[in-house]
Chains A and B, each alone.
Chain A
Amino acid sequence: MDNYDFDAIVVGSGISGGWAAKELCEKGLKTLVLERGRPLEHGAGYTGEHQPTWETEVRGLPLRDLYNDEYEIQSTSYAFNETTRHFWNNDSNNPYDWDPQHPWHWVRADVVGGRSLLWARQVYRWSDLDFAANKLDGHGCDWPIRYADIAPWYSHVEKFIGVSGQKLGLAQLPDGEFLKPMELNVLERHVAARIAEEFPERVMTIGRVAILTEPLPHSDRGTCHYCGPCHRGCSVGAYFSSLSSTLPAATATGNMTLRANAVVEGLDYEAGRITGVRVIDTETRERQTYTSKVVFLCASTVGSTQILLNSASDAFPNGLANTSGALGRYLMDHTYAVGAMGVFPGFEKYYPMGARPNGAYIPRYQNLEGGDEAGFYRGYGFQGGAARMNWQTMARLTPGFGAEFKNSLRTPGPWTMRLGGFGECLPYEDNYLDLHPTKKDRFGIPQARFRFTWHDNEIRLRDASKADAARMLRAAGAVSVTEYDAQAPGGAAIHEMGTARMGRDPADSVLNAFNQAHDVANLFVTDGSAMTSSACVNPSITYMALTARAVDYATTQMSEGAI
């Protein structure tokens, strides 16, 4: 291997890094994967899986002092509790900084596999409406790719990870390679039918999820057994994670070396190339530099951006590969935790069986031609679901006590349905992350610092999604509808992206059409930082497809001697 330690180095083992590792290894490259988190074994590491509540320390209640002191940000996630805490970042060990007036939630894991362990597995393709949006309405720079460029890579990814879903034939939400869909329950089907009648341009479907509803031909991963909380880990591998899917494939090639507890501090640059990846061992604090022909940054949007900012040099005083000045800027997330819920009379005969790890989905229906006809630019979709109130809720609503009280709690309460909006966020220069000038972490690395504000367009869109959710529920027969808006700070939707964006012009973007740094030929960044706009759908499958596509390009370039 000439003078290199490896052919390729991948930083991060999460959703993007797992894909980079698999694709690079399968192309025959000796690949080193560096992961700052702790080692985690598929199966054996899932200590909370199927754990009954009565065996947990305080019956699922939060350990308040601990969470408050050490998990202040992470514990705001619905997926954070004692059955999953071992996957999450400890905020006091690994702090970050934010402007209190313009806060940001940085939600992250700290294990091999990254957030692929914890994610909600919702996967939706982007469409040309999304890739053309910046050009059409003039917000942000133009994407250097269109749907046709990425469509085959979506297929490549979907076939490998397994995605269950229903084909709809919608231009704004292209169909994929689907395993059989999960089912909507009886109330959701009723609501879907009512919505279709009242609002012919809207459709409610079952969520598209990276969960196996049927076996995959190339894999021994098991199918879903509907136990519910996937984020505790699934030892049969029914949902996609790096541990269930991509890392085993990379391992099988014999080409992967995985090093956990290895935080990348920065990259060395010389004469047009990355010449070294500097690592600190999180346990021993030992430093080491690895070399490779090509480097893939997949450390998540914030992680990769932080590494580049911390790799400034004489050649790049404002951060590596940052001649454009775009690095760290144009930070985006989705509007979130806003919507409505309603109580539905009837259907008392039905009580779904099984804990479906998925919900209902309403694809975007606003501004389908671009523009701002709806009163804002871009759009939103809804995720939600219907269920009957359980004993916990009913106990709060039921006065009294004694045998009668107990017997009334035995059967479930009324049906409710919730619709929550996820809205697109425009890229703004003044939403950014940079390095704190003085605060450092325990490894001596400058802390990431954030400043993020929702602008008018997001606020208008968020309010509109709330009103639409309520209107749809009422139209479907809800007797009591409550709107909610948690005023979620940026980052809370955990769809952070945009801080090393792709573009056509090196003057306003960091990466080219193949996620390659305009400034440095052997540097690729393929996580959410590459995103030029945010669309309104969950982004991770797009990171996967871009990663696979970038590896294909990089290895071709390498074999042609261009890298």
Chain B
Amino acid sequence: MSFFNPKAASSKTVAKHALDPALQPWVEKYRPKTIDDVSAQDHTVAVLQKTLTSTNLPHMLFYGPPGTGKTSTILALSRQLFGSPDNFRNRVLELNASDERGIAIVRDKIKNFARQTPRAQAVASDGKTYPCPPYKIIILDEADSMTQDAQGALRRIMETYARITRFCLVCNYVTRIIEPLASRCSKFRFTPLDPSSSSLRLSHIATAENIHVDSVVIDTLINTSNGDLRRAITYLQSASRLSSSTDPPTPITSVDIQEIAGVVPASVINEFANVLGVDVGDIMDIGNPVKKSSFESIRNKVKELMREGFSATQILSQLHDLIILHPTLSGRHKSLCAHIFAEADKALCDGADEELWILDVGLRVCKAITT
């Protein structure tokens, strides 16, 4: 199979044809090149800095939500240790969920790489010297998609070849990594990016790209991306493309960002809440507050929302915020609703039908706050 063929599996054939930088996606263009470039994650960066000057590196487990810098950090660290591409190729093995990683591969490919004695340092073609410590690194990105069996087979390998091979497991959900593996690793938690780090990074990119972005727009980017920097960067690039392609170019607005991010307009959520009998009078002017909600009215509203194609998870999260932060609803009502939202979130994660569940949320919220 072609992906076992190391020539096909490496990305170097691809990298040769450098892209026109103007067309390069910013998420890749501004992927941190060194661990110093990694925003936030201060603790992780500080610890890893030290490993650059010593020859010691523990097995590591990186975990945290999407777009927080896990993959970037380990790739940057490996590059700083070995220098790309010269030593990188025979010192670093990167496998991710797109590679076959069943138990057979663990026993075969991973083990073979793990037991090779690290080759002597080659002269770096860029003339720099790299620490090139006497071990290899195996990066198992997206490790939470590996089966339990395959993870189990890693245990021995990690121990046996620990002297010459270090593992770095990367995942979103640390609970999906079996305990014996997790306990062999130093754990590094990647947190959603805090607003000030995100803001700095986004402004840095905006300056480098020579575009003007208001601070209001940056705030919107941060609010809509929930600490996922990759998403914020994608939104920014798309918005900038859209605004620069109009004639004459227009500045990027918060509304553009919300539209791109798939945020449901506040007026739509308010109307929905109104139909459920939530008092939205002081939040927004809606002509006629609903006096009595009926099954019919709620169902029709839900059908309308579905026709608009809004994502159920997005509706749920915005309705949740509206109710939980509501100025006058009682604590008891809010806790009843919180329970309903939690159940619906779980169901949607399990792949439930969106219409049935938004309807159920609507009907139950309505009942909860009117009794």
Q: Do A and B come from one complex?
A: no
Instruction: List the interface of chain A (C-beta within 8 A of B).
Output: none
